[in-house]
Amino acid sequence: MEDNKGNERDELYSERVRAGKRTYFFDVRSTRGGDYYVTITESKKVFNDDGFYYQKHKIFLYKEDFNKFQDAMNSTLGHVKDELLPEVDFSQFDRDYNEEADTDE
């Protein structure tokens, strides 16, 4: 099996979002040609008989898809918030998120 660790380009910017048992990473990376792309990684701690390991799923998002991706994400979240769960006050979750961010520093 080939080791691909050297193939991933330098990380230029990173945001981490902790979400229960999962953590999401939003990373900006550069190509050899000086272009930029975003990776979105979901990392989940999985326990087994030997202890645990991190199961990761990664999406590569290229600049030509940024607007389409952002529009679809905003539309999807808006639909859930406005149409499916209009009674939920989503700002109640900001407190938990801000508390997690404070403990990271």
Please write the tens of the pLDDT for every residue from 51-66: 999 999 999 999 999 9
* Residue 4 reports pLDDT greater than 60: no
Domain with 25 in it: what CATH number?
3.10.450.700
For 36-92, the pLDDT digits (tens) are 999 999 999 999 999 999 999 999 999 999 999 999 999 999 999 999 999 999 998
**pLDDT at residue number 2:** 41
Tokens of 79: 């639909």
Domain count, the chain: 1
Report the C-alpha gap between 105 and 98 in whole angstroms: 11
16 to 33, 87, 100: CA distances (angstroms): 26, 28, 11
Ramachandran angles phi, psi of 64, nearest 5°? -70, -10
Higher pLDDT, 29 or 95: 29
Domain of 99? 5-104
Residue 95 binned pLDDT confidence (cut-offs 50, 70, 90) = confident
